[in-house]
Amino acid sequence: MQLILATSNPHKKTEIKAIFAATLPHIEIITLSEILNPFEIEENGISFEQNATIKAKAVYDALLLARGEGEYLVLSEDSGLCVDALGGAPGIYSARFSLIEFGDNSWQERQARLANLSLDARNLARVVYELQARNLSVSRARFVANVCLMGHLGGGLIHRNFQGVCEGEVITTPQGDGGFGYDPIFVPDGYAQTLAQIESKNEISHRRRALEECGEYLRSLV
């Protein structure tokens, strides 16, 4: 059976294969770009679950057109950081928060001065900026990941979503050189370091928790 990832990111493939290797060794895991030309998918949902489902359906529909029905499943994922003091933002806009209108317009001037930084760095700077604008140096927050599994197996249609959460708090002083995205300002519960400083980050990540639930479901099918 093939598990087709709705991504062309090789790092996500490596992470998913590592999580599934011990308990689902018979499943072939491949990325979309290995079998189809990548294409744009409009993620216009209002939740992680909706966006993960939109991606999975778009890829599954494309596979049906290209290959017809078969014993394969599509796995997609949508994730982000939700900060309590920011009303849950950046949320589903985590990957482009620095570009989103939020709060007052004074951020635009700051963004112009950060134009030489990567989008990840600008997104992180936006969260720090919004907290400091509220005279805060810390806030409760969580990373959320939603994984969608869609396809045909054993003659039946499969559509399931699985959610993983990593609770903690965000700080306004980035720490650590590891990880990516918002990792340098996120301190998970039970730790004194940020995700960018924790070597075992992948063992406690929101994505891993969602994928482990997905893996348990897959084992019940095969």
Catalytic residues: 78
Residue written as token pair 């810390």: 138
**What whole-number distance in Å separates Cα of residue 139 and Cα of residue 213?**
28
Contacts of residue 187, Cβ cutoff 8 Å, sequence gap at least 6: 168, 169, 170, 171, 193, 194, 195
CA 46 from centre of chain: 15
The H-or-E segment that residue 4 falls in is strand 2-5
Residue 198's alpha-carbon distances to 171, 191, 209, in angstroms, are 16, 9, 17
- Would you say 31 and 8 are in contact if contact means Cβ atoms under 8 Å apart? yes
Structure tokens at 70: 């078969």
Residue written as token pair 């966006």: 51
Q: With 0-12 CB in 10 A as exposed, 13-18 as middle and 19+ as buried, what is 11?
A: exposed
Helices 10-20 and 206-221: crossing angle, nearest 10°? 60
